Homo-oligomer: A and B are copies of this chain.
Amino acid sequence: MQRYFIPPERLVSGKAFIEGDDARHLALVMRARIGDRIVVSDGRGRTVLAEIAELDKTKVTATVIEQLPADAEPTVHVWIAQSLPKGDKMETVIQKCTEIGATRIIPFLSERTVVRYDSHAEEKRLQRWRKIAKEAAEQAHRDKVPEIEAPMTWKQLLQAASDADAALFCYERENGRTLGEQLKYLFSRKAEKPVRTVLIVVGPEGGFTEREAKEAEAAGIVPVSMGRRILRAETAGMVGLACVLYEAGEMGG
């Protein structure tokens, strides 16, 4: 069944009011009719089944039939911080990490970030990223849309890391700790120290500088290796995310 996220203030008094692109999509692309049923979520954990009562291509009004269990969100919140990669790879990261189950995505700038950061184009790009996250969350039947942050500086990211219960960064080096070891360690002692939020920090194509690695460690972010194969910048986050969710029992088991 088709799913739409709408702002919380448009899901009130037993009605869901769908406007803009989504109304257009329902009316023209999906060719919805009065009486059709859709799933509407306020993106903050409230999801309902609703029946279309009125529609045209600018506005659709649907009557709430029942509250649906909002159980698609992972019990552990994974934040992916990604040094801005080249081309449209940030879009891939946002789409895939939203599907898999990230709750917050933080682009950031590091020494070896090669993309030029254009603050004028920033607002438009951020809107585009948020649209990608919303659509990926709808498609994945999630109950919440992950937060997509505006790009942070390295310093801001180090500060944001202190809000997570555990923070890891992907860093290849001899004899380092592996992702698996660190995750098993974290989840084995969750009774003493809960693991509600895990931050995974992924560097740019050229990796982190030694200085950045030291600063990250000083900020409590643990360097981990992700196995013996070298993952591309845009692949590391999704693999790390899948592994955290797997260890947390989110893939069952």
Contact = CB atoms under 8 A, between A and B. Distances in A.
Nearest to A177: B252
**Most chain B CB neighbours (cut-off 10 Å) among A141, A227, A230, A250:** A227
A243 interface: yes
A126 interface: no
B225 A252 contact: yes
Contacts of A252: 177-181, 224-225, 227
Given A235-B100, A239-B100, A181 B253 contact: yes
A99 interface: yes
Interface range for A: 35 or more
A17 to B, nearest CB: 26
Interface of A: 71-72, 74, 96, 99-101, 139-142, 177-184, 224-232, 235, 238-239, 242-243, 245-247, 249-253
Contact of A231 (B99, B177, B228): B99
Given A182-B253, A242-B242, 11 more contacts: A96-B235, A99-B230, A100-B239, A141-B229, A177-B252, A178-B252, A179-B253, A180-B253, A183-B253, A225-B252, A243-B243
